[in-house]
Amino acid sequence: MTTGTERLKHLLEKLGYEDVGGFSEYRKILILIGIAVLLVFTAIIAVVMGKYGFTVMDVYRTIFVHLTFGDTTTIEKLNNTIIWDIRVPRILLTVFVGGALAIAGAVFQGVFRNPLVEPYILGVSSGAAFGAALGIVFPAIFFSLQLSAFAFGALAVAIAYLLARVRGETPIVTLILAGVIVGSIFAALVSLLKYLSTDAALREIVFWMMGGFYYATWKDVQVIAPVVIIGFIILWAMGWKLNILSMGDDEARTMGVSPERYKLIVIGIATAVTAVAVSPVGIGAWVGLMVAHAPRNLLWPDTRFC
């Protein structure tokens, strides 16, 4: 009698997954499936538990009615408000923001060939914080706090990249130093805005910089989800190029890959994903640094799966 694992192994072998380097691909697929199941289980717990507890059937009925465009009047108002309007978008936003930071962290660690690099290394967090502070202090000029945070986060990385570019090349060490400098400048500008702002604006700036998903809405999910998904697909498609870049510029050139061209592309995409992710929820620490290491240790050192 065959077990479920053996049946899955047989199915995956039919699909072309074979043993590679003593660590079979079907086992890697099992780990990925396990992680996905754990994510779904955690999400269900997050929806069910809280100040207002609900049963799994309450959650199922509420979500099912909305997904099938049914009559929402059949749902209790409390269930609809807390489950669908508050908890579900908060969980989805958490997944997309965490995924965005993890993707960007894996990309930056590969490009910079340093496991201690995080998505904020080029100053995107300080730039986004400055943009958010401008949106808070001058709401009449910067009418959208999220758009302002995204724009200045991307601007910070663009400035760092241009400062580091020398004779058509962008040395890794120079780029990191430029990112530190630009990040420090924007951090100083944030401090200046804090000093000049009113008490109410100061509290709001500090509140945003602390980070959190308390104000998550479906609009935030609709803005972030497409960017993260598209960015992930593009970076996944460029996975082998990222693996080559992680070996160094000279090795990349010998394998026919232009390091400058692909560094610009992947850094640009990773920056856009990071800036979009932090714009509505503030700066989240350690996610982009630590999460990228988990699949690398559990699975294999392939950037496509980190």
Q: What is the pLDDT along the chain (306 residues), one digit of tens a residue?
A: 455 556 555 554 554 445 444 446 667 777 788 888 999 999 999 999 888 888 889 999 999 998 888 888 778 888 889 999 999 999 999 999 999 999 999 899 888 888 888 899 999 999 999 999 999 999 888 878 889 999 999 999 999 999 998 888 888 889 999 999 999 999 999 999 999 999 999 999 999 998 889 889 999 999 999 999 999 999 988 888 887 888 878 888 888 888 888 889 999 999 999 999 999 999 887 888 888 777 666 666 666 555
Q: Which amino acid type is present at position 57?
A: M
Model pLDDT, residue 5: 56
Model pLDDT, residue 86: 93
Between the alpha carbon of residue 167 and those of residues 162, 163, 195, 261, 263, the distances in Å are 11, 11, 40, 14, 16
State phi, psi for 68 to the nearest 5 degrees: -95, 10
Q: What is the DSSP string of 97-124?
A: HHHHHHHHHHHHHHHHT-TT--GGGGSH
Residues 6+ apart with CB under 8 A from 238: 262, 265, 266
Helix (H) or strand (E) holding 234: helix 218-237
Q: Where are the domains of the chain?
A: 93-305
73: which 2 tokens? 């009047």
86: which 2 tokens? 């508050």
Residues 6+ apart with CB under 8 A from 150: 128, 131, 275, 276, 279
For domain 93-305, the question of CATH label 1.10.3470.10 is answered with yes
Model pLDDT, residue 298: 67
Q: How far apart are CA 18 and CA 122, in angstroms?
A: 39
Place of tokens 């074979």: 18
Model pLDDT, residue 15: 45
Model pLDDT, residue 203: 93
